[in-house]
Amino acid sequence: MNKTKLFLDVDGVIIDSIKAYCSAYNEIYKNHSKFTPAIWYECKKWDLKDVAPLVKSCNEIFSSPLFFKYAEFININTKEVIKELCNKYRIIICSIGTPENIAQKSLWLKENLPHIKEYIFLVNDGCKMDKSFIDMSSSIFIDDVVSNLDSSNADYKIVFGDEYEWNKTNKYLRCYNWTDIHRLLI
């Protein structure tokens, strides 16, 4: 039996990237004279400049080993739901990052989701969010960035997580957490 492909983004879908970013930022910049702690739940901007203003480029943090030191699943049941989804769907991880970020991300995924065997990693130079050249026809795609969903040819698209400036939409069904995903897809 051919399983339906289910493409999963990583940052903001599997990993609580905002929380990990703020924790790494706080450790890196804690001794800076203009430091104010980054509070993850106050983040409203995609580049996190509103909570982490001392960073010149967000890739500085996303490519840091400290980011992955603090990386954790976005919800308490993320790992269990993904494992259950593997019984019904062909899970493919699809994520964008710098070469350094992708190298560390792949190791984090291998350690934390060893049952996932298929990955598509895209090198992103300049923070362009576009996964359009990946054939996702006849599949389901879950991402927290609307531009990735817009550019995809997936048959069924789900925007994930709380509403932010980068994922405001009425075009796609929103799942706020992995409990919602479980209810919808299992």
Taking the chain (186 residues) in consecutive chunks of 10 residues, what is each chunk's mean pLDDT?
95 98 98 97 94 94 97 98 98 95 97 97 74 95 95 97 92 98 97
Residues in the chain: 186
pLDDT at position 124 is 73
pLDDT at position 115 is 95
Q: What is the DSSP secondary-structure string of 154-170?
A: -SEEEEESS--TTS--S
For 23, 114, 162, the CA distances from 166, given in Å and listed in that order, are 21, 30, 10
> What is the spatial distance between Cα 117 and Cα 34, in angstroms, rounded to a whole number?
44
pLDDT at position 126 is 58
Name the token pair of 72. Answer: 């954790």
Confirm if 94 and 8 have CB atoms less than 8 A apart. yes
Q: What is the pLDDT of residues 48-62, one digit of tens each?
A: 999 999 999 889 999
pLDDT at position 51 is 97
Which helix or strand (DSSP H or E) is residue 33 part of? none
pLDDT at position 125 is 63
